[in-house]
Amino acid sequence: MSAGPLDGRVVLVTGGNSGIGLGMARGLAEAGAAVCIWGRNREKNARATDELRSSGARVVSREVDVSDEQQVVAGMRALVEELGRLDACFANAAISSGQDQPRFVDSTLDQWREMVRVNLDGTYLTLREAARVLVEQGEGGSLVATSSIAARFGSPREHAYAATKAGILALVNSLAVELGRHGIRVNALMPAWTASPALDEWFENPAVAERILPRIPLRRWGRPDEWAGIAIYLASDASTFHTGDVIRIDGGYSVF
């Protein structure tokens, strides 16, 4: 492999075994980074690891439920022990609303708390442990959290999902200010309508396409590989003065 902008760097991508997470992990690996994938599904982890290693990159994976504090702490410790350090962390793992979510008036507190537990608590735990490593190393670094346009645009039956994604934006703002003195930059990604196993069936629904695609100026769904470039940028020296931002990649949906 020729030298890449991320040679010698170690990057963690949670939820990196499919969808946007895998798209980012693929780009990071091809740019020269050693990549660690966290996911709850062992088989998906293995498939993603094999795929990424085919490019010659150093890739490891670990079964981690980001909503479990002990698993996150142990996973971060194992990452540093195996790969030697950490330079960037993409807190991307989440569960989506799906097609079977109840109306707000029929929803339950347990359903609400499950979404918060994985999406918001999981992001908090991941970024906290990554920040501890970066502060101790004393060399700065990059923290990135995946939000969603659901944080800004209303959608029926997505009350819990949207609330967690909005919370991530507030968390990123706070951390960008607090961690800046350590040379750690913190940003959020705001994706929309990107193909993934969790959404493929939904995208195939003609009613969905008829309602949403006309609102996307590019007139198509996003692809996971289109997240590689922004991941490389945020993990590299190209973004060393870029922090506290929300980077929207949505095919123009938000401006139309």
Tokens of 44: 């998906």
Largest CA distance in the chain: 56
Task: Write down the pTM of the prediction.
Answer: 0.95
At 99 the pLDDT is 58
Q: Which of 39, 22, 30 is nearest to 58 (CA)?
A: 30
DSSP 31: T
Going along 171-224, which residue ranges are E strands?
184-191
The predicted pLDDT at position 3 comes to 63
Residue range 44-98, pLDDT digits in tens: 999 999 999 988 999 999 999 999 999 999 999 999 999 999 999 999 999 986 6
* The pLDDT of residue 1: 41
Extract the residue ranges of the chain whose pLDDT is less than 70: 1-3, 97-99
Q: Which residues participate in catalysis according to the annotation?
A: 148, 161, 165
Residue-level pLDDT at 177:
98
Beta bridge partners of 13: 37, 90
Given a contact cutoff of 8 angstroms between Cβ atoms, the answer to whether 39 and 54 are in contact is: no
90: part of which helix (H) or strand (E)? strand 88-91
